[in-house]
Amino acid sequence: MELQQLRYVLAVAETRNFTRAAEQCFVVQSALSHQVKALEQELGTALFARTSRRVELTAAGAAFLPAARTSLEAADRAAADAAATIGQVRGTLTMGLIPTVTAVDVPGALGAFHRAYPAVRISVRSGSSDELMTAIHRGEVDVAVLGLPESTRPAGVESREVARERLVAVLAGGHRLARRRRLHLTDLAKETFADFPAGTPGRAQSDLAFDAAGILRDVTFEATSTDLIIALVQQGLAVALLPAAFVPSDPRVVTVTVADGPTRVEYLAWSSFNPSPATTAFLDRLLTSGAAGPREA
């Protein structure tokens, strides 16, 4: 059994198509099909059920996949570790991002890292802070930017605080409070809100602030996208609490400081357990360059 055969099997499983798998692996389809068939013969069982129009994993294929993926990841890590001993950085870097990153210029940081270490394959994964902390613990994400209430610290990961900011009220331009220079949570008590889904870290800081003030707020609109939240505000359907950096310069919306509003803290998070050479190199650049230094807003 060869590593290349495992790569081909994973590509077919991912794309559900031999032609697209061959393109992904930069090999002609006939060669890929031959290698997959040879592996199936070696194993004595079919990994895929295929017709001219459809490809699916068999039960044996589904059982084979997890260990095949682990083996490939281990082989890639071994090659990266060996290269690191002679000053080369290779392998992969997966960065996890929440929807509201303000502390790090992510495209700029990844672009600079790519230019310095072109042999590293970079990917990005989106999710909530809770999901990304779990992904770091499982080894699925190398580095992530998290956003949490100031009363909550990242759990199960190494972290560094990189920003701390008080959320602002986002109102439609014609809202009755739009001309105010400063608000308090009590001013927003009777408003309809658009916010992130209940139970998510992106929502938690606002829920905690209203709970502490003894105010029951009405969150009618739940969304995972800041663009959708702002669009709802623009239409006069709701108000929101967001980082100021995510509010566009648009006459249809205004931002107003909330004196006792919630504070959100951004963290850079990673695993301290055997980080890959690519992860170590990325963190060194990011944390020493000042691109992710602590700031307050």
Do 139 and 281 reside in the same domain of the chain? yes
Do 142 and 102 reside in the same domain of the chain? yes
pLDDT of residue 78: 65
| pLDDT over threshold 80, residue 72 | no
Q: Compute the average pLDDT of residues 140-156.
A: 91
Q: Which residues contact 92 (CB under 8 A, 6 or more apart)?
A: 76, 120, 121, 122, 123, 142, 276, 278
pLDDT of residue 69: 78
Do 197 and 247 reside in the same domain of the chain? yes
Do 56 and 107 reside in the same domain of the chain? no
Q: Which of 66, 84, 102 is the last residue of a domain?
A: 84
Range of the structural domain that residue 201 is part of? 168-261
Q: Compute the average pLDDT of residues 81-100.
A: 75
pLDDT of residue 24: 81
pLDDT of residue 20: 87
pLDDT of residue 65: 83
Q: Which of 69, 84, 99 is the last residue of a domain?
A: 84
pLDDT of residue 1: 61
Residue 225 domain-assigned? yes
The CATH number covering residue 241 comes to 3.40.190.10
pLDDT of residue 190: 93
pLDDT of residue 201: 87
Do 104 and 75 reside in the same domain of the chain? no
Do 251 and 276 reside in the same domain of the chain? no
Q: Which of 35, 60, 84 is the last residue of a domain?
A: 84
pLDDT of residue 51: 79
Residue 238 domain-assigned? yes
Among 181-185, 199-203, 228-232, 253-257, the least confident range: 199-203
Instruction: Report the domain count for the chain.
Output: 3
| pLDDT over threshold 90, residue 274 | no
Do 78 and 96 reside in the same domain of the chain? no
pLDDT of residue 273: 81
Do 177 and 257 reside in the same domain of the chain? yes
Do 210 and 251 reside in the same domain of the chain? yes
pLDDT band for position 96 (cuts 50, 70, 90): very high
- 242: which strand partners? 168
| pLDDT over threshold 70, residue 83 | no
Q: How does the average pLDDT of the chain come out, rounded?
A: 87
Residue 156 domain-assigned? no
Residue 226 domain-assigned? yes
Residue 51 domain-assigned? yes
Residue 162 domain-assigned? no
Q: Compute the average pLDDT of residues 207-222.
A: 95
Do 142 and 274 reside in the same domain of the chain? yes
pLDDT band for position 266 (cuts 50, 70, 90): very high
Residue 163 domain-assigned? no
pLDDT band for position 84 (cuts 50, 70, 90): low
Q: Which comes out higher in pLDDT, residue 293 or 107?
A: 107
Residue 242 domain-assigned? yes
pLDDT band for position 151 (cuts 50, 70, 90): confident
What is the rounded CA–CA span in Å between residue 239 and residue 168?
Answer: 10
Do 120 and 139 reside in the same domain of the chain? yes
- 160: which strand partners? 268
Which tens digits make up the pLDDT trace of 5-45?
A: 888 888 888 888 888 888 888 888 888 899 899 988 888 99
Do 187 and 256 reside in the same domain of the chain? yes
pLDDT of residue 258: 96
